[in-house]
Amino acid sequence: MSNAFSDSDMQRCIQRVDFGRVSVFYGEKSGKYPDGNQVLVRGSKIRAAFDTPLVSNYIGPEFDATELVVMGHVHEDHMAGLHRLPHASVYVHEADLPAAQSWEGMITAFGNSEYASETLLKFQREFFYAPRPDAQGYVDNASWDLGQTRIRAFHMPGHTAGHSVLFVEPECVAFTGDIDLTGFGPYYGDAGSSLADFRRSLARLSEIPARVWVTSHHRGVYTDREHFLRDLSAYAAKLGEREQRLLALLRESPKTLAQLVDQRLLYPPGYEGLWVVNAETRTISQHLAELLADGRVEVNEDGVYRIG
Ligand SMILES: [Zn+2]
């Protein structure tokens, strides 16, 4: 198989859709993880990319001509094409900046230092991982004038501390990143994640005056506001479903955090992976903190949680 298809064959097989100066290149399976969907913006002066998922390695000259990368957030699957753009300026929200600049910063944001060396090898092998010490920070409402088109960043944290939605005008395309509206639901299992911030970001997302919404993974492109809003509310409802499952587990019998983690909340029961116990622990802890705060759950001095 190795020489059966040329690079230009690969380029032809990538599905794309254009909205004025904005192009969306679909990753494999509509950008299902580990791939993602690539957004390129062709200003009259500057060519920009939003994130760089795996598919960016197969687009060719249109991607490789990128002069400016604006990252919606920093995770391995969004950095997979940065190695192709050593001379491009890379901008990252300041709260995600350390994660972009060094491996140490990334592992701190993940919070899984015990698996650092296995994780680094996996990222190098599967995501062309290379940190960007030259990356620069941006803040909420930052904007970039590309010539006849403009990017604006809206800080919408939760998934990561710096997660931002990138909005292109006049095309009115919103790149929502890993507020991805997938059936999995919101992910806030990293050390730098926040359930409370994610709730606020979900509530604000519909305020962006977009006509087109692009998610990093799986869903791809929405051009119908009603459809987008329906999927957004189903996605947000996953938070309530997780809360109900936790309460049901505690109704069965009081449990410690470790016992709840054994039952899994994010992933199916029995699901294993390097980071799974850490992600479940952080996810469940954040829900328990909310439930404790409003008195629906109590905890005793032995760390056993029960219905309040
Ligand atoms: Zn992510």
Expressed in angstroms and rounded, the spacing between residue 159 Cα and the centre of ligand 1 is 7
Expressed in angstroms and rounded, the spacing between residue 203 Cα and the centre of ligand 1 is 19
Expressed in angstroms and rounded, the spacing between residue 5 Cα and the centre of ligand 1 is 31
Q: How far is CA 47 from the centre of its chain?
A: 23
CA distances from 78 to 71, 211, 262 (A): 8, 24, 30
Helix, strand and coil content of the chain, in percent to the nearest 5, comes to: 40, 20, 40
CA distances from 111 to 104, 108, 123, 275, 307 (A): 10, 5, 16, 9, 29
Instruction: Look at residue 1 and tell me whether its pLDDT is greater than 80.
Output: no
Strand blocks (E) in 71-124? 89-93
Expressed in angstroms and rounded, the spacing between residue 104 Cα and the centre of ligand 1 is 17
CA distances from 89 to 55, 82, 106, 145, 303 (A): 20, 10, 19, 14, 48
Contact between residue 31 and residue 185 where contact means Cβ atoms under 8 Å apart: no
Average pLDDT (156-167) is 98
Contact between residue 117 and residue 148 where contact means Cβ atoms under 8 Å apart: no
Expressed in angstroms and rounded, the spacing between residue 74 Cα and the centre of ligand 1 is 7
Expressed in angstroms and rounded, the spacing between residue 73 Cα and the centre of ligand 1 is 7
The CA distance from 49 to 77, in Å, is 14
Q: Per-residue pLDDT tens for 219-260? A: 899 999 999 999 999 999 999 999 999 999 999 999 999 999
- What percent of the chain is predicted at pLDDT more than 70? 96
Q: Per-residue pLDDT tens for 61-111? A: 999 999 999 999 999 999 999 999 999 999 999 999 999 999 999 999 999
Q: Give the residue from 179, 190, 162 showing the smallest Cα distance to 275.
A: 190
Contact between residue 86 and residue 182 where contact means Cβ atoms under 8 Å apart: no
Kindly state the tokens that stand for 9.
């064959």
Q: Tell if the pTM clears 0.85, that is, is over it.
A: yes
Expressed in angstroms and rounded, the spacing between residue 8 Cα and the centre of ligand 1 is 29
Expressed in angstroms and rounded, the spacing between residue 70 Cα and the centre of ligand 1 is 15
Backbone angles phi, psi at 208, to 5 degrees: -70, 125
Q: Using alpha carbons only, how large is the chain's radius of gyration in Å?
A: 20
If one compares 273 and 246, the residue with the highest pLDDT of the two is: 246
